[in-house]
Structure 1
Amino acid sequence: MKQTDNLSESTSIADKLGIPAPLFWGFVGLLFFMIGDGVEAGYLAPYLEGQGISSRNTALLFTIYGVTVSLSSWASGPLSDLWGPKRVMWIGLAIWGVFEVVFLTFGVAVNSYPIMLAAYTMRGFGYPLFTYGFLVWIAAATPPRQLGSAAGWFWFAFSGGLPTLGSLFASFSIPLIGEMATFWSSLALVMFGGLLALLMTREPIGSRRLAAPGTPPAKIFFSSISILWREPKTFVAMIVRTINTSSEYAFLVIMPAFFTKVIGFSLSQWLQLLSIIFLSNILVNLVSGITADRLGHRTVVALFGCVGAAITVPLFYYVPQMFPGNFPIAAAMGALYGATIAAFVPLSGLVPQICPKEKAAALSALGLGAGASTWVGPAIVTWFENWHGIEGIIWIFSGLYVASALMTLVLTVSPEARRYIDAAAARGDVAEEVTLGH
């Protein structure tokens, strides 16, 4: 493609950093979008509980929201194939904005739980269409030599906003303008970032249908889900990816009250702690990929990710109780936890090697797992909070990470897949262009 050739010849600063120059403003806009999306992450749960919404209903809100996030995460790839990534991003931005207004005006402002539940559930379709639509755009328009670094920058902007800088923004804005005004500021940030990305990014590939002309929509959608039983290892990888960040979303429900009521932190301190956790996470996102190239993808995921998280989850719960009110110690435990969660990143490099003939569908399975984690975590809280409280939930997640370590051991590259990769390398087309939903 001519556009791809132009990208490969770029000598701009963005290009040298590994960011495709024509998509530069898309990355900047994504960061602002995710900052806005992440503003509420650390304080929505305690705010609702403070308004009389039970912790169980709060967890249910997050759980059902996560279901729509999961569905939208998977659908973003096939829809981008059908309509083009840019149109999908526009739809995601519109959904987020409309239902956030409904959520705040007719739900939160008047404390109507049914409206909150309905609006928040529908808003869940918004951010995956915008963000993963952009990821498809990156995969479609980026030359092979830049695809790895471009994907790294995508996750850097994604995690940098949600919830790292989003929570940090909230920690300073809540004391200044209050909780409700901070909710509205998140809408402003999302719209600013979304419009910046879509209006300033004029790269042509993202504006057109990516699927081959004449490909039936049913075939595009079906191939993105049938791979789970046609290639069982992709199903295992999806489960591992679901476990990966499920604890994060559970902690957004249960940990605000734990750290403010049990450990003695202020809400601002909790939000700053959350920012530290995810600052560690986004930094190790970059490091774990480099380490995986040297030690092996499975090794990094199984040892540093799965086993590491099985250890750091209990540490994050028990150690702060030994030193109540001690922010540096809690921050250290949080940083360790965030680092182990980031060590799952090499899954994105391992799965395309397992299914080299269907890289796009394999990546779509990982997207489905990532979306599923947003509701599985809160669902575990909903189902088991009355069992042994937070402590019981902590040990459930620790056990799940041990199980994920065992599952990761089966994620081997078959001899047939290895031969295909070697043959493709010999032909010079090993780094094919990939989308999430083909």
Structure 2
Amino acid sequence: MSVNNKQWLGLPLNLIWGYIAIAVFMTGDGFELAFLSHYIKELGFTPAQASFAFTLYGLAAALAAWISGVVAEIITPQKTMMIGFVMWCIFHVLFLVFGLGDANYPLILLFYGIRGLAYPLFLYAFIVAIVHNVPSDRASSALGWFWAVYSIGIGVLGSYIPSFTIPQIGELGTLWLALVFCVIGGIISMVALRNTETPRHMRNLTTREKFGELSRAVTLLYTNRSILLSSMVRIINTLSLFGFAVIMPLMFVDELGFTTPEWLQVWAVFFFTTIFSNVFWGIVAEKMGWMKVVRWFGCVGMALSSLAFYYIPQHFGHNFAMALIPAVALGIFVAAFVPMAAVFPALEPKHKGAAISVYNLSAGMSNFLAPAIAVVLLPYFSTIGVVVAYTALYVLAFFLCPLIRVEQPGIGRQTSGEGETAGISS
């Protein structure tokens, strides 16, 4: 399959409208991220119940993420994105009307959980389009742009816009506004990507062969040791991102006296920083090496900045300027894990869809485990216990990185572990 080499600072120009669609769609999807847990609590439910809703959502997202890569290769990324778009809209409306609207906790769990299946199909299917339309030696920077527009949507616009709309139309009105952005993003993707080059090698597979390829997204975890280790590192990658979105509104608003708009603006600064750091680390990793960037800047940086996100606000109290310091640090270092998206398909070049599915599953599991850790630890150790747990896992990832053996285009094998062969299997 041919690929288009026209790029601007690593951005594939033939996919630019796809990137825009991701930014717009994830803006709508991100509206709820930094205030929904607090809003559910205001409806009369406990912090543990609010966290459990996010845990269930994350589990559904993990399941959808697991199949998204292979499904995108079998039925094309465009069709997979369309399915995710339509599902999101339908179950978002049901969630607002019958779940939040009636303060019905079982329906909140049901419709929010099912809606969790939708966004990974839309989001992660686009990674397959990138991998099949960009040369492998440029994949890191192209994926850096992917995560940059993701941050623009789910983090910057998704946090800033609610900080202005909540005082005007309230939390529920803001969630209805989210639907508008997701509809626009979905339509852009359907129109702009219809003629994009797509993988064709699986279209003629039998049903049994398709299910076999789908199962490979699981079997790779025990047939390829480097894939398993990479999966663990990717799960750890965004624990603070998803976990802090759940626990920090409770600390900032209820304990430290920040208003909800102030907290949303702090969270937006974190995501605003990732716009630039995603692109920066994607480009740097192509020069320095994928795993070096992940280990020394991702793992170490996130361990330190996660602690800072708790201790600096605790020390300075209701001080907006000081709260921005750890938000910026977190935004810089969480993006240093961007090269992991290029590592997975490089480890399984003959089964890129399955490898991407494992990557997506890992991302989804992070979405699930981050609030799950909070649910378990919050009642016993408060916020600091959750933060320390996340920090310890980043330290664990630091020691896992040298065990991953991957050949990077232009650099060659990046490893530790003498005598091992590269983690590439057919």
TM-score, normalising length: structure 2: 0.90
Q: Distance in 1 between matches of 2:287 and 2:409?
A: 21
Contact 1:306 1:402 in 2 (8 A): yes
In 2, the alpha carbon distance for the partners of 1:82 and 1:241 equals: 24
Kindly tell me: are residues 244 and 418 of structure 1, through their superposed partners in 2, closer, same or farther at Cα, counting changes over 3 Å? Answer: closer
Deviation at 1:214, TM superposition (A): 2.7
Cα distance in 2, alignment partners of residues 408 and 48 from structure 1: 38
Q: Given the alignment, which residue of 253, 256, 259 partners 2:249?
A: 256
Q: How many angstroms does 1:218 deviate by?
A: 1.7
Distance change (3 Å), C-alpha of 1:113 and 1:370: same
Deviations 1:314-346 (A, max 9, x none): 111011111111111110111112212111122
5+ residue gaps, structure 1: 424-437
> Relative to 1, partners in 2 of residues 1:247 and 1:145: Cα closer, same or farther, differing over 3 Å?
closer
Match of 2:416 in 1: none
> Could you say if the C-alpha distance between residues 289 and 420 of structure 1 is closer, same or farther in structure 2, counting changes exceeding 3 Å?
closer
Q: What is the match of residue 328 of structure 2? A: 335
Written as runs of structure 1 = structure 2, the 5 A alignment for 1:399-438 is 399-413=392-406
Q: 1:167 aligns with which of 143, 146, 159?
A: 159
Q: How far is the alpha carbon of 1:150 from its aligned partner?
A: 3.0
Describe the shift of the 1:209–1:68 C-alpha distance in structure 2 as closer, same or farther (beyond 3 A): farther
Distance 1:87 1:358 in 2: 20
Pairing 1:132-151 to 2, within 5 Å after superposition:
132-142=124-134, 147-151=139-143
Tell me: CA distance 1:80–1:210, structure 2 relative to 1, closer, same or farther (3 Å): farther
Are 1:205 and 2:203 an aligned pair? no
Aligned to 2:23: 31
Change in 2 beyond 3 A, CA 1:252/1:422: closer
Contact 1:20 1:146 in 2 (8 A): no
Query: 1:422/1:147 Cα in 2 relative to 1: closer, same or farther (>3 Å)?
Result: closer
* Partner Cα separation in structure 2 for residue 54 and residue 92 of structure 1: 30
- The 8 Å contact of residues 52 and 375 in structure 2, kept in 1 or not, is answered as yes
Judged with a 3 Å threshold, the aligned counterparts in structure 2 of structure 1 residues 138 and 420 are, in CA distance, closer, same or farther, namely closer
Percent of aligned pairs with the same amino acid = 35
Q: Secondary structure at the match of 1:330?
A: helix
CA distance in 1, matches of 2:133, 2:288: 30
Aligned ranges for residues 32-71 of structure 1 at < 5 Å?
A: 32-71=24-63
**CA shift at 1:421, angstroms?**
9.3
Deviations 1:128-165 (A, max 9, x none): 11111122122223455754443222211112111221
Count of aligned positions:
412
Of residues 49, 74, 99 in structure 1, which corresponds to 2:91?
Answer: 99
Q: Please state if 1:153 is matched with 2:145.
A: yes
- CA gap of 1:335–1:398, structure 2 versus 1, over 3 A, is same
For residue 205 of structure 2, the aligned residue among 214, 233, 240 is: 214
Equivalent residue, structure 1, for 2:113:
121
Structure 2: gaps (5+ residues): 414-425
Distance 2:269 2:196 in 1: 38
Aligned pair 1:323/2:327, yes or no? no
Following the alignment from structure 2 to structure 1, what is the Cα–Cα distance between the partners of residues 387 and 107?
Answer: 31
Instruction: Determine the structure 1 residue equivalent to 2:299.
Output: 306
Q: Does the CA contact (< 8 Å) of 2:137 and 2:409 recur in 1?
A: no
- For residues 221 and 279 of structure 1, the distance between their equivalents in structure 2, rounded to whole angstroms, comes to 36
Q: Cα RMSD over matched residues?
A: 2.4
Q: Could you say what secondary structure the match of 1:178 adopts?
A: helix
Q: TM-score when scaled to structure 1?
A: 0.88
Q: Determine helix, strand or coil for the equivalent of 2:296.
A: helix
CA distance, structure 2, for counterparts of residue 352 and residue 145 of structure 1? 12
Query: Which residues in structure 2 correspond to 1:270-281 (within 5 Å)?
Result: 270-281=263-274
Q: How far off is 1:222 after superposition?
A: 1.9
